[in-house]
Amino acid sequence: MRYIYFLLLYKVESRVLLSAKQIEITTIRMAHQLIEVHRDFSESYIIGIQPRGVMLAERMGALVSKILGKPIVVGKLDITLHRDDLHLQKDIIVPQRTEIDFSIEGKNVILVDDVLYTGRTIRAALDALIDVGRPKDIELMVLIDRKLHRHVPVKAKYVGMTIDSIVSEKVRVSWSNIDGKDEVVIEPKSIEN
């Protein structure tokens, strides 16, 4: 009874998890972690999951490139046709482009997404990636790990921030190049979510 009373009193409000400066610091740290493992990136590629993971992947590619002083290959992976909820969608989902114009056979792939929640997106991404080729190793990088809600046994190797959250909350990652500012916010889900 006390628990129900607490839930009625608890009002979920929007709050900033990461500011633009904190995102900058976090992504620089993550770029250095990648370099520690992948050295000169001669055998490694960064691939972002469409649409929002691509923003983080491109940012990581630029940071690693700046630190190493050489271009870093970044790809884009669409998972639309590999989703396990495709048949449940009411709206028409238009696939985005997979842009991987390099061979991942026998290479190390860093698969990138903005938020790890249930793990179903990553499961679909693994299926889509295997359709492209057979990498030597696949690692997962996410900016935010919502650790309490996994439906699929997936764990990220590189994590910007791990949070505890409730199902009625949504994590929104904003990127300056498409949203006007860098920010991570947790907020109550709207009715349509």
Number of structural domains in the chain? 1
Of residues 83 and 161, more confidently modeled: 161
Q: Are 84 and 102 in contact (CB under 8 A)?
A: no
Encode pLDDT of 12-26 as tens digits: 589 999 999 999 999
Residue 134 lies in a domain: yes
Show the domain range for 103: 19-86+93-167
Q: Specify the pTM.
A: 0.89
**Strand pairing class (108-116; 74-77):** unpaired
Q: Report the length, in residues, of the chain.
A: 193
CA diameter of the chain? 60
**120 token code pair:** 């179903």
Encode pLDDT of 89-104 as tens digits: 677 677 889 999 999 9
Say which CATH number the domain at 148 has: 3.40.50.2020
Burial of 2 (C-beta count, 10 Å sphere; 0-12/13-18/19+): exposed
